Amino acid sequence: QAETFNIPSSLEGIKEWRQVAIDAGFGTVRYGSIQTPTYSTGQIGMYICNKAKKDVIENGVIHVTPEEVLELRKRFKSLKEETSYYQPRLQQSCFDLPNWVEKSIYSDEESKVGTDEL
């Protein structure tokens, strides 16, 4: 769990924890938001960290191999029960943040803020 951006003190915590991960040696640390209707703020956050400096997310797309996507779909289908909420595409879209959140978290990294991309 990586805080919620809906609470101002938690938004500050997101930036602080992100910096902790960077200081620990991760080359790229991205924040993602998972919409969770049963959670008190309706949203919960998480990080994806990569040891390499190359970002695994570019223009909202997580760079994974076709084999990794197939494996994820296979694992999801292997569940013996259905879910009413989760689907694999949620994992990719969770890195599409509101502009004000993205600007707050990545203010020191202009290339991450996608205000001109539509």
pLDDT digits (tens, 9 = 90+) for 17-55: 999 999 999 988 889 888 877 888 888 888 888 887 766
Tokens 């040696």 — which residue? 25
Residue 32: the pLDDT is 87
Q: Is the pLDDT of residue 111 over 50?
A: no
Residue 2: the pLDDT is 77
* More reliable by pLDDT, 79 or 16: 16
- Name the E strands within 1-118: 28-35, 43-50, 57-58, 61-62
Using CA atoms, how far apart are residues 91 and 34, in angstroms rounded to an integer? 8
- Asked if residues 87 and 61 have their Cβ atoms less than 8 Å apart, the reply is no
Residue 14: the pLDDT is 92
